[in-house]
Amino acid sequence: MSNATTTTPTTTNINTQPATPAMDNGRKKKGPDFSKVEDIALVKAYLGVTTNPTLGTSLTEEGLWSSILEGFVENCDNLFNRDPSSLKSRFTSISAKCQFFSASYAKVYAARKSGENEDDWYEQTCARYVDFHPANSGKAFGLKHA
């Protein structure tokens, strides 16, 4: 009789997110909304890549967004396994809203009155954004953090 014991190895899956995105009718399901922390990390990553003079304009679109993903992961935890296409989609939305807000601010600033300050101009710009941005559907500018 042998005193040797045998054990069966056990494995524990420590990944809480699926390795591949969930699919719905052949299309990737939309993930959760980006948080403010993720928006800031995305903008920082985008600026870090696009203002890097050593990269110049040599990156392909795929290479650009892969590099942005690397910077995004460095800036936040990427808890939802964001991929380059989701980053591109979110950044496109952020960029369009910020460009319209910036143009609105420029118009408010050009028409400023004596006695007004930056807080007044910001409030006027926010009101203009809600009233005049057709794709905004009357929603306030929600990207002050970006």
For each of the chain's 146 residues, which pLDDT tens digit applies?
A: 445 444 444 333 333 343 344 555 566 677 788 998 999 999 999 999 999 888 767 789 999 999 999 999 998 977 788 999 999 999 998 898 888 888 888 999 999 899 999 999 989 988 887 766 555 555 666 666 65
SS (H, E, C) 112-132: CCCCCCHHHHHHHHHHHHHHH
DSSP state of 24: E
Encoded amino acid at 45, one letter: A
The verdict on residue 73 lying in a domain is yes
pLDDT in the model for residue 8: 42
The verdict on residue 8 lying in a domain is no
Domain that holds residue 108: 32-136
SS3 23: strand
The verdict on residue 123 lying in a domain is yes
pLDDT in the model for residue 127: 85
The verdict on residue 69 lying in a domain is yes
The verdict on residue 20 lying in a domain is no
The verdict on residue 5 lying in a domain is no
Tally of structural domains, the chain = 1
The verdict on residue 18 lying in a domain is no
